[in-house]
């Protein structure tokens, strides 16, 4: 059995237990330590369980892989199998912006679905919400959702119209980035105004150590119910 099928069988089993009253979303959140909003989103197909979360749920419910293999496949499981046009991308813990340290960590339980066509070809894609940042206020909003490509080639070939996650004073922030004279990197706000520009000395660091990722898609983040 592949891990993807194991997840879907487990999800179907959880949905069965909710339907017959054995469990509630609140109770499932309490016994697993996973937040109720995330449980709700998983049960409704808006998120997927990570390997760690799957293992945690199975341990708390005393389910083995053999138990899952022998479960009857329900309609709920097939519904989730049918959608093959999206790919779930891990979500960064915290928000991109002032206060988020580099390197950032990935959530052990949260991911976000993107069209497979958008994710195909990206290198180590991750998703991240944006923090409130005065430098990008009015252009991007707090809680906007960004899809990041960590491809070294994208980070070395900086585009004038690109937006990048850069390490500025140890924090992951969103800026435009341009190579500058004197082994420096010029960072500007989305508006690109010279007043907002900041020249950051590379001081022997590689460009890849400063430019963490490129934003390839950005939109509103819709919170689950």
Per-residue pLDDT of the chain (225 residues; tens, 9 = 90+): 456 667 777 887 887 778 767 788 888 888 888 888 888 888 877 777 777 888 888 888 888 877 776 654 433 332 233 345 888 888 898 899 888 888 778 877 678 888 888 898 999 899 999 999 888 888 888 989 999 999 999 999 999 889 999 988 888 999 999 988 888 999 988 765 544 688 889 888 899 999 999 999 998 754 443
For 202, phi and psi rounded to 5 degrees? Answer: -75, -30
Ordered structural domains, the chain, with CATH: 3-82 (1.10.260), 87-219 (2.10.109.10)
- Compute the radius of gyration of the chain from its Cα atoms: 21
Place of tokens 């197909």: 45
24's tokens? 């509630």
Our measurement of the distance from residue 188's CA atom to the centroid of its chain's CA atoms, rounded to an integer in Å, reads 25
Task: Give the Cα separation of 210 and 53 in Å (integer).
Answer: 32
pLDDT the model gives residue 7: 76
Task: Give the Cα separation of 170 and 100 in Å (integer).
Answer: 8
For 17, phi and psi rounded to 5 degrees? Answer: -65, -35
Residue 13's CB: how many other CB atoms inside 10 A? Answer: 22
204's tokens? 């022997």
- Interhelix angle for 25-32 vs 51-60, to 10°? 100
pLDDT the model gives residue 67: 72
């Amino acid at each position: 059995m592949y891990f993807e099928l194991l997840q879907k069988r487990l999800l179907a089993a959880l949905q069965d237990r909710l339907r017959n009253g054995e469990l509630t979303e609140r109770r499932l959140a309490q016994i697993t330590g996973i937040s109720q909003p995330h449980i709700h989103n998983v049960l409704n197909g808006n998120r997927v369980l990570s390997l760690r979360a799957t293992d945690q749920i199975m341990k708390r419910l005393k389910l083995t892989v053999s138990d899952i293999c022998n479960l009857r496949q329900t309609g709920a499981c097939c519904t989730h199998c049918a959608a093959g046009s999206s790919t779930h991308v891990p979500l960064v813990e915290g928000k991109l912006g002032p206060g988020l340290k580099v390197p950032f960590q990935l959530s052990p339980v949260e991911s976000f679905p993107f069209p497979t066509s958008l994710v195909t070809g990206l290198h180590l894609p991750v998703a991240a919400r944006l923090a409130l940042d005065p430098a990008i206020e009015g252009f991007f909003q707090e809680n906007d959702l960004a899809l990041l490509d960590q491809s070294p080639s994208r980070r070395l070939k900086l585009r004038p119209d690109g937006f990048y996650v850069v390490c500025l004073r140890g924090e992951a922030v969103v800026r435009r980035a341009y190579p500058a004279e004197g082994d420096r990197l010029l960072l500007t706000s989305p508006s690109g105004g010279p007043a907002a520009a900041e020249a950051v000395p590379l001081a022997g660091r590689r460009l890849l150590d400063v430019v963490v990722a490129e934003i390839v898609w950005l939109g509103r983040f819709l919170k689950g119910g």
